[in-house]
């Protein structure tokens, strides 16, 4: 039996299976591997963003044009998206956000705390459905379920991947 | 600096741009550019935005990447574009050949009381687009320049033009505003079904 695949490889496969083509992202160390996989995938179109809200608009344009999109970001980037999320909600654009959390498990950087602790609340306030995932083995399954929810029911869904699952950034 | 007196007529400029749209897909930036495009004639392949300030160029990119065989024209304002200057860099890196952006630059936030925008003080949006790496970018000040640049909007992109228009508000022409409706009719016209 082959070595067990990582959650990043599993999530990449889920995105492929669900025909998610345009992947907007602002990097996070927890997203490093999946960004590499998406960039290397000729069937996908990776779009490096200058700010996360661009990804919400990108997903809206992609859907208008008949393509599925996902947006990858760190929890701090969620704050940049808030007003733009209003467009996705008002237009009932299916939106899949994959958010790697900071400001949780053994965080070192106090500047990460305010936005991280507000992430689920502000997403919820905008009408985005938030699905939290703590265990690495559950991440791909949660993304798959979130993708189905988003694309089958035209909703905005965010998967918040806990800092504990990814590992705490070491400042050394 | 005082409000610009001379400049092109925004309604005429938008009508001229769209006169040759064929089956092009059009995204509008909130406020006057949305009214300008509606005034040129409603079309199911217009996606009018009424909010999400700063979204227009990136909605255009997502659409252009999804529909590489169709021309995508973004018509927006200087305030809306200034809010999303970073998206010029994002677009330039992707080099979508089928995407064009036309900014109706009146130097003002027209929907909120005509406050000055940065372009009135010399900020050069076309220069920014060119420096980001757009294939072609220019500031258009005269009818002759507009005539030269309109065909470029339908040629190899990404193309960016900043059209200096007068600061006079044109009469309101309001298109449909329900987001779901605008999305559904656009997708139906483009993709068939819902």
Minimal Cβ distance to B58: which of A45, A48, A57: A57
CATH label of the domain that carries residue B47? 3.40.50.970
Residue B130 domain-assigned (yes or no): yes
pLDDT at position B194 is: 52
A120 CA to chain B: closest CA distance, Å? 21
DSSP state of B138: E
pLDDT at position B40 is: 98
Q: Sign of dihedral through CA atoms B76, B81, B84, B90?
A: positive
Nearest CA in chain A to B88: A50
Q: Provide the residue range defining the domain that includes B167.
A: 10-191
Binary contact (A92, B179; C-beta < 8 A): yes
Residue B16 domain-assigned (yes or no): yes
Residue B93 domain-assigned (yes or no): yes
Structural domain count of chain B: 1
Task: Place B2 in a pLDDT band, splitting at 50, 70 and 90.
Answer: very low
Binary contact (B52, A87; C-beta < 8 A): yes
Let me know: does B140 contact B163? Beta carbons within 8 Å: yes
Residue B103 domain-assigned (yes or no): yes
Binary contact (A58, B58; C-beta < 8 A): yes
Q: Domains along chain A? A: 7-163 (3.40.50.970)
Mean of all residue pLDDT scores within chain B: 96
pLDDT at position B183 is: 98
Residue B26 domain-assigned (yes or no): yes
C-alpha to C-alpha distance for A10 and B155, rounded to whole angstroms: 41
Residue B2 domain-assigned (yes or no): no
Task: Place B5 in a pLDDT band, splitting at 50, 70 and 90.
Answer: low
| pLDDT 10s digits, A36-81 | 999 999 999 999 999 999 999 999 999 999 999 999 999 999 999 9
| pLDDT 10s digits, B14-39 | 999 999 999 999 999 999 999 999 99
**Choosing among B52, B54, B68, which should be mutated to test the A contact, i.e. which has the most A CBs within 10 A?**
B52
| pLDDT 10s digits, B146-162 | 999 999 999 999 999 99
pLDDT at position B169 is: 84
Give the mean model confidence (pLDDT) for residues A147-161.
Answer: 98
Q: Which chain A positions have a beta carbon within 8 Å of B93's beta carbon?
A: 48
**Choosing among B24, B51, B62, which should be mutated to test the A contact, i.e. which has the most A CBs within 10 A?**
B62
pLDDT at position B73 is: 98
Residue B19 domain-assigned (yes or no): yes
| pLDDT 10s digits, B68-79 | 999 999 999 999
Residues 6+ apart with CB under 8 A from B12: none
pLDDT at position B1 is: 44
Give the mean model confidence (pLDDT) for residues B6-18.
Answer: 96
Residue B96 has pLDDT above 50, yes or no: yes
Minimal Cβ distance to A50: which of B60, B87, B180: B87
Give the mean model confidence (pLDDT) for residues A127-150.
Answer: 97
User: How many Å from the N-terminal Cα to the C-terminal Cα in chain A?
Assistant: 36
Minimal Cβ distance to A84: which of B52, B61, B62: B52
Mean of all residue pLDDT scores within chain A: 96
**Choosing among B59, B72, B82, B99, which should be mutated to test the A contact, i.e. which has the most A CBs within 10 A?**
B59
- Other Cβ atoms less than 10 A from the Cβ of A132: the count is 14
């Amino acid at each position: 039996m082959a070595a067990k695949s990582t959650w990043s490889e599993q999530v990449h496969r889920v995105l492929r299976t669900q025909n998610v083509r345009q992947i907007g992202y602002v990097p996070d160390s927890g997203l490093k591997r999946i960004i590499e996989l998406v960039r290397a995938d000729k069937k996908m179109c990776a779009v490096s963003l200058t700010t996360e809200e661009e990804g919400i608009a990108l997903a809206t344009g992609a859907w208008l044009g008949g393509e599925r999109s996902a947006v990858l970001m760190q929890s701090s980037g969620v704050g940049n998206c808030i007003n733009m999320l209003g467009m996705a909600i008002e237009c009932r654009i299916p939106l899949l956000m994959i958010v790697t959390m900071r400001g949780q498990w053994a965080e070192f950087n106090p500047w990460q705390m305010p936005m991280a602790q507000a992430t689920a609340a502000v997403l919820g306030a905008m009408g985005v459905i938030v699905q939290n995932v703590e265990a690495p083995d559950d991440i791909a399954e949660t993304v798959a379920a979130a993708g189905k929810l988003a694309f089958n029911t035209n909703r905005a869904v965010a998967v918040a991947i806990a800092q504990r699952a990814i590992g705490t950034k070491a400042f050394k | 600096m005082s409000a610009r007196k001379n400049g092109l007529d925004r309604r005429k400029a938008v009508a001229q741009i769209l006169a040759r749209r064929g089956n092009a897909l059009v995204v509008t930036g909130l406020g006057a550019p949305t009214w300008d495009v509606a005034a040129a004639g409603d079309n199911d392949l217009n996606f009018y935005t009424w909010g999400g300030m700063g979204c227009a160029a990136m909605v255009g990119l997502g659409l252009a990447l999804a529909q590489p065989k169709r021309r995508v024209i973004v018509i927006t304002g200087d305030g809306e574009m200034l809010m999303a200057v970073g998206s010029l860099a994002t677009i330039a890196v992707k080099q979508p050949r089928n995407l064009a952006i036309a900014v109706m630059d009146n130097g003002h936030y027209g929907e909120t009381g005509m406050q000055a925008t940065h372009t009135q003080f010399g900020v050069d949006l076309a220069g920014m687009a060119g420096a980001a790496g757009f294939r072609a970018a220019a500031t258009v000040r005269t009818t002759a320049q507009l005539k030269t640049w309109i065909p470029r909007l339908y040629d190899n992109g990404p193309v960016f033009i900043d059209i200096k228009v007068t600061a006079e508000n044109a009469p309101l022409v309001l298109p449909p505003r329900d987001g779901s409706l605008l999305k559904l009719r656009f997708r139906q016209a483009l993709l068939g079904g819902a």
